[in-house]
Amino acid sequence: MRANKVLDGNTAVSEAVRQLDPDVVMAYPSAPGAPMLERLAMDIANGSLDTELVNMESPQSAISGCIGASAAGGRVFSSASSQELAQMHEMLFIASSLRLPIVIGIADRALSAPINYYADHSDAMAERDCGWIQLFCESPQEAYDNIIQAYKISEHQDVKTPVMVAMDGWITSHTMENVSIEEPSEITDFMGKRIPTYSLLNSTKPLTIGSFSSPNYYFEHKLNQFQGMENSRKIIREVGKEFGDRFGRYYGYFETYKLDDAEYGIIIMSSAAGTAKEAIDRLRSRGEKVGLLKLRVFRPFPFQEIQERLLGLKAIAIFDRNIVPGSQGGPLYNEIRSAMYFCEDNLRPKIFPYIFGLGGRELNLSDIDNTIKEIKEKTEKVESENGFHFVNVRYRQVNNE
């Protein structure tokens, strides 16, 4: 039977992982995602989970261990946030190019310096080019649901690509909410056992993975990997639908909120979507035609679907929760603007880059109000779209005279 529990995001993730009965958990706990691993360690210690727990001495070793265990045919889990995810960097490329199903949970946290403990997307966004599928969650419920789907997507024969499931540190990882936890047998039924196509531990069929590749082969191997990610586009949708048919909560590349008849739109990811929805309700009650698109899947980037969904809006504000010095806008902005390049000129919305929430800075309802006001004015006055907008940050004009 389905159980309704009050859980924070970390516990929701560990509940999902527990129900999926992993073979190996590699642990180098890092805040704010540490409780994911601590709860699993507790289950393993008290015997309720038959999983090998390996305490590693660094994040790089933790992900290396995941690579080995997955190549041996196991279902594996680990977690990392911020600096710890950055320390995994080089191994993330190896995991994806070896086409290994691995899932890691991330409680997004800002990168140093300055040292900071709070939510933003710098850590996950810095890994957007490493060939992993990236799912972002708004709530503990989505964290639970996405972890389960992540394994199904990752282990699919046509995909075989690792997945990172990210939620906002503290805001989602440590805030308690109602979460529906599905019947364990239903989850087992939904997932099935991982059927690896090969195992490094199979001594009757020896094989080599990750060997040297000359210029004569490297390019071909990379395209083979690229295809795995491309295949995931279809599988992510299928798994999201199958999950919905079974459990009642449907998932696609993104969720829209009051976007159908909207003239102005906000694009945002993860927990801040909750604030945006509330702000949109208030703006709607004042007669403003505004809507929201909350992106769930950043890699593979659903450029075609996004383009179709945003066509015809007057203007959109894209909210990135990390800053890339020297760029034209945050990663989300750049992807979406690039997706909109091929629309007909008269249907393309004006696109404005907003940076918010760095190092845990709050996003207020009034910030969304002001944004909508700003993009409306700029659109009506046909002002340039260029230039960053920084939300809720101090700047003081210095008078030098």
Interaction between residue 156 and other proteins (CB under 8 A): no
Whichever of 210 and 387 has its CB closer to other proteins, that residue is 210
Looking at the DSSP bridge assignments, the partners of residue 319 are 354
Region of residue 335 (phi > 0: left; psi between -120 and 50: alpha; otherwise: beta) = alpha
Whichever of 99 and 321 has its CB closer to other proteins, that residue is 99
Backbone angles phi, psi at 259, to 5 degrees: -90, -20
Whichever of 44 and 94 has its CB closer to other proteins, that residue is 94
Looking at the DSSP bridge assignments, the partners of residue 163 are 103, 133
Cis peptide bond upstream of 184, omega within 30? no
Query: Minimal distance in Å, beta carbon 247 to other proteins?
Result: 30
Query: Minimal distance in Å, beta carbon 133 to other proteins?
Result: 15
Interaction between residue 160 and other proteins (CB under 8 A): yes
Site size for other proteins, by CB under 8 A?
25
Interaction between residue 98 and other proteins (CB under 8 A): yes
Whichever of 152 and 361 has its CB closer to other proteins, that residue is 152
DSSP conformation letters of 256-269: EES-TT-SEEEEEE
Under 8 Å between Cβ of 305 and 331: no
Of residues 104, 129, 100, the one with CA closest to residue 210: 100
Query: Minimal distance in Å, beta carbon 397 to other proteins?
Result: 56
Structure tokens at 31: 């805040």
Whichever of 203 and 397 has its CB closer to other proteins, that residue is 203
Q: How far apart are CA 342 and CA 348, in angstroms?
A: 9
Q: How far apart are CA 127 and CA 298, in angstroms?
A: 11
CA-atom Rg of the chain in angstroms:
21
Whichever of 207 and 393 has its CB closer to other proteins, that residue is 207
Query: Minimal distance in Å, beta carbon 225 to other proteins?
Result: 8
Site string for other proteins, 183-202 (x = CB under 8 A): ---------------x----
Write the CB contacts of 24 (distance below 8 Å, at least 6 apart in sequence): 51, 52, 53, 54, 65, 66, 69, 74, 75, 76, 77
Site string for other proteins, 204-243 (x = CB under 8 A): -xxxxxxx-x--xx-xxxxxxx-xx---------------
Query: Minimal distance in Å, beta carbon 22 to other proteins?
Result: 20
Q: How far apart are CA 241 and CA 88, in angstroms?
A: 32
Whichever of 97 and 270 has its CB closer to other proteins, that residue is 97
Interaction between residue 58 and other proteins (CB under 8 A): no
Query: Minimal distance in Å, beta carbon 96 to other proteins?
Result: 10
Query: Minimal distance in Å, beta carbon 235 to other proteins?
Result: 14
Query: Minimal distance in Å, beta carbon 197 to other proteins?
Result: 8
H/E element, 353: strand 350-355
Residue corresponding to tokens 């989850």 = 187
Q: How far apart are CA 238 and CA 246, in angstroms?
A: 12
From start to end of 230-313, where are the E strands?
254-257, 264-269, 290-295, 297-299
Query: Minimal distance in Å, beta carbon 289 to other proteins?
Result: 47
Whichever of 210 and 248 has its CB closer to other proteins, that residue is 210
Position among 34, 80, 100, 166 found at the interface with other proteins (CB under 8 A): 100
Whichever of 184 and 300 has its CB closer to other proteins, that residue is 300
**Interface ranges with other proteins (CB under 8 A):** 97-100, 160, 198, 205-211, 213, 216-217, 219-225, 227-228
